[in-house]
Amino acid sequence: MTEPQPLSVLRAKGWSGVPSSPGVYWWYFLRTELDRLRVAELCDVPRLQLRFATDGKVCLYHGMANNLAERVEWHAAQKLTLKCLESGLLSTFRFSLLALNDFDYLGGSPQIDDFFDSLSISWLAARTRDEAEALERLELQGTYHYPLNIPGQQEA
């Protein structure tokens, strides 16, 4: 697994630091987001086994991708259009963060992009999609909890 990378740096580099292979990824948030996003209110945080980065950020979301670079950009920079919403092709993770932050859907692109730029992401590349799926399954069944993952919801 790579060290968590600030999303703002990856965005500035045009996502060039993220591999285009299949793999799994972890999104890290400032610890204050546990309260602001109501995770601490809705979960018994002291009993959760959360993954922390060396800089103190906490991982609240884990996922799998066929192409890590495309998936990171999709989550972090997808344009908010009515067509995306109607078609169901909007990132569930991005949409959840839009709602949890109470950002306006139609005018919220700059707000949600700024929010994503406060996050960090790490990843582990895989050789194949099957390997990435196996890594995701192991992670989600493992000891760590990911409060922003929707049980049974997989994006690939």
For the stretch 90-139, pLDDT in tens is 788 988 898 899 988 777 788 989 999 999 999 999 999 999 999 999 99
pLDDT at position 156: 44
The residue whose two tokens read 């972090």 is: 76
pLDDT at position 152: 60
Give 1-42 pLDDT, tens digit per residue: 999 999 999 999 999 999 999 999 999 999 999 999 999 888
pLDDT at position 91: 84
pLDDT at position 78: 85
Degrees (nearest 5) of the Cα angle 150, 151, 152?
A: 110
153 pLDDT tier (thresholds 50, 70, 90): low
Task: Please enumerate in sequence order all residues whose Cβ is within 8 A of that of 80, keeping only pairs 6 or more positions apart, or say none.
Answer: 90, 98, 105, 106, 108, 109, 112
Q: What pTM was computed for the model?
A: 0.91
Burial 27-47 (b: 16+ CB within 10 A, else e): bbbeeebbeebebbeeeeeee
